[in-house]
Amino acid sequence: MATIVKSYEPTFWDKLYLPALMRGLIVTFRHFFRKNVTIQYPDQKHIPPEGYRGLHRLNKYPEGRIKCVACEMCSAACPADCIHIIPGPSPWDGGKERYPVRFDIDLLRCIFCGFCEMACPEEAIELTEIYDFSDYTRDDLVIDKEGLLEVYDLTKDQNYYTKKNLSKASSVNTSIDT
């Protein structure tokens, strides 16, 4: 049996539109007095929570020697196959025999899973809080060893996005890489 649906007949107040308009304005005014949840990016930066996995860095010892020993455990663990290392004999005396002559990460392939960080026996590779990096070409989004060491210098104090570092933060894109 067919169902008859009656079309909606607007009431007198509906036809005036004023009550609906007032209801909408009340919602708008209520939001005037609430705390903003938006920020004025890029002048203001969101500070990510601890443990956020952003742009990678290669760590150094206090005397400046790179911690990486080019064992390639990170590239073996990487599910995206985006870490490429060329090892060479270490130029420093004592202990570690190898170091990375080249160390590239293809940031467009990376899925920021953190497996490289977990696989590293030297705590040499780490993911930082930096999330706002960009560039114009695919090639420029391959970060190299010098870029990764520069990220270490920028993030070693764990205050990259604090007000103190905002001027630096605004300048970071992957143009720091190559």
* Window of 1-9, 21-29, 63-71, 153-161 that interacts with ligand SF4 by CB under 6 A: 63-71
CA 19 – CA 17 distance, rounded (Å): 6
Residue 82 lies near ligand SF4 (rule: CB under 6 A): yes
**CB of 55 or CB of 176, closer to ligand SF4:** 55
Tokens of 119: 């696989």
* Binding window for ligand SF4 (CB under 6 A); candidates: 15-23, 40-48, 64-72, 170-178: 64-72
The answer to whether residue 80 forms part of the interface with ligand SF4 (CB under 6 A) is: yes
In the chain, beta strands by DSSP E: 56-58, 83-89, 98-106, 125-127, 142-143
User: Following DSSP, what letter does each residue of 40-79 receive, concatenated?
Assistant: -TTTS---PPTT---SEEE-B-TTS-B------HHHHH-T
85 near ligand SF4 (CB under 6 A): yes
Which spans of this chain sit near ligand SF4 (rule: CB under 6 A)? 68-74, 77-80, 82-83, 85, 105, 110-116, 119-120, 122, 124-125
